Structures are given as C-alpha cells and as structure tokens.
Amino acid sequence: MFKIRDLLAEGLLLALPLGAAAYLLHKVIGLISKLLIPVAHLLPNARWFGIAGIEIAAFLLLLFALLLLGAFARSKLGRKINQVIEEVILSKVPFYLIIKNIITDVTNTES
C-alpha cells in the first residue's frame, strides 16, 4: 500500500511542475500572439501540425527573448542583478534555495 501511495505522490510531484510550465507557456504564447496581430498579415495563413503561423512566430520570438535574457544573465551586470534579486526576493520564497541547489547539482554533474 505504501508503494502505491509513494508512486502517486511522485507522479503528482512530477506532473504539477510540468502542468504549471505548460499552462504558463500556453498563456505567454497567447499573449505574444496578441502582440503580433499587427504584423500577422506578413505571416503565412497555413497551419503546420495544427499550429497557426502566428503561434509559431510567437514561440520563436519567445525563444529568441529567452536566449537574449540568458546572454544578459551571463554578463557582469546580469549576474549582479540576479544576485540582488535572489538575496532580496527569492531567498524568502519557500523551497527556492533547495530547488536551486538541486538544479545546480544536476547541471554541474552533466557538464
């Protein structure tokens, strides 16, 4: 009985962050799609795998913005801003430091 409960708990712990990330991605792409409406006439009207061209453009724009944000985060100013935000705000968020340490350990062992 304990194994079933443990499996359910582990499944839930995996599904919640994945679901939250998917929901957030859906909302952000919807927001970017609305911002791209003025230039939508420049995009093809076709759908690829059931996804509209404007949604693909929104996803690509999001990826590009994340790449720029990642490049900024590696700069001296970006690291300083990240450190201040982490010390002032994120350190007060429950479990933030635990999750950060786990992610840091996983990414360091893969490199």
Contact 76, 70 (CB under 8 A): no
**CB burial of residue 58 (10 Å; 0-12, 13-18, 19+):** buried
Does 7 or 64 have the greater pLDDT score? 64
Q: What is the pTM of this model?
A: 0.61
What is the share, in percent, of the chain residues with pLDDT greater than 90?
A: 23
Counted residue by residue, the chain has a size of: 111
pLDDT tens by residue, 45-74? 777 777 777 888 888 899 999 899 989 989
Contact 30, 16 (CB under 8 A): no
Residue 47 sits at φ, ψ, to 5 deg, of -120, 140
